[in-house]
Amino acid sequence: MLSCGSNRLGGRGVGEGVAAIAQDVAGTRDPGDPHSPALTDAEYALFAQVARTRRVEAGQYLFRRGDLGTAMFVIASGAVDLDFGDDLVGKRLAAREFLGELGLLIGDHARSADATVAESGVLLELGRVEFDALAARDPQLLTQFLRRAIMRVVFNEQALIARLRRRNQELQSTLDTLRATAHRLNQTEALTRTDELTGLANRRGFGTHIEQRRRNSTLAGLSLILIDCDRFKHVNDTHGHLAGDRVLQSVANLLRAVAGPEDIACRLGGDEFCLLVHGDRREDLERMADYILASARALMRMHSNPPQMTTLSLGACSLGPGQNWEHWYTQADTALYRAKRLGGDRVEWQD
């Protein structure tokens, strides 16, 4: 069931039209379906952590058509009936299903249905404060839910447009708002996978990329280079953390410069970086590693007080068939440890 809105098309609210369309397209209420009004187990567990619980009794009104709403509801137990008026078929929502999400997304959004408690139970109520708490706890899962909710709204409104053959200005404005919200959510999700200081992929973003490749069985033919700043703690202790940040940004710029269009440069955390390189020819990788080391030395000589670069230690290996990702990461990490132990400013290989 879609949340309620005040937009009008041919004399009917968007929510009303969506309800009518839902009669044509509704199937089973599977939470895995992007158009389902039911939360997944993970989404429900997250929402239940921060939502306000509200006990309701049969016959009680949650809201009426035309009320301005800023909150959404999830049914923990019981059931809720939605009445769109006129001769439109109503909807009954049960446990794990949600309603009113447009009120939360857009704010002060007029409801286009009467919501009445059909069976006594408990609701989870989420307003702006709870929304912010969800974003702080698990932005990726919240982004997944909101994108699915928005896809469901856009899908049904597009079906409504196709059915009625016209679109009024209010509906267009709503769609524009939803698209802008989806765009902002995509940007938010991208930020959760990007290191704020350097702009490279962070550990989460790198892990997502590896997981996608592992599912597609495309790890073979790649090479991994782990990079660590030599004596980075000395830079922080002697020149301060701002100088340390500049060093990390310089390393990121260097890796960004040598990475090819299909390579992935990542800051794993602290002063540890990595490059996932397409290709496994040893001579090509040696040239790349030597260029990284020589460039770091040159930058260190050019900017020494305060330093903007340190020498680097590299550990590298080529990813062959027959082993999992953890094996190859351990190989590169072993090589990196050996390079550090031998004094740094060098590359070590582990085949």
Residues with active-site annotation: 271
Residue 241 sits at the vertex; the CA angle it makes with 240 and 247, to the nearest 5 degrees, is: 105
The string of DSSP letters for 140-199 reads HHHHHHHHHHHHHHHHHHHHHHHHHS---HHHHHHHHHHHHHHHHHHHHHHHHTB-TTT-
State the alpha helices, DSSP H only, in the chain: 14-25, 41-50, 101-106, 128-137, 139-164, 169-192, 203-215, 232-239, 241-258, 282-302, 325-341
Is residue 46 within 8 A of residue 142, CB to CB? The reply is yes
Q: Is the previous residue joined to 306 through a cis bond, with omega within 30 degrees of 0?
A: yes
Q: 139-164 vs 169-192: helix axis angle to the nearest 10?
A: 160
- Which tokens is 96 given? 């794990």
Helix (H) or strand (E) holding 90: none
Identify the burial level of 5 via C-beta atoms within 10 angstroms of its C-beta, where 0-12 means exposed, 13-18 middle and 19 or more buried.
Answer: buried
33: tokens are: 């379906």
Query: Cα separation of 250 and 252, whole Å?
Result: 5
Beta bridge partners of 269: 272
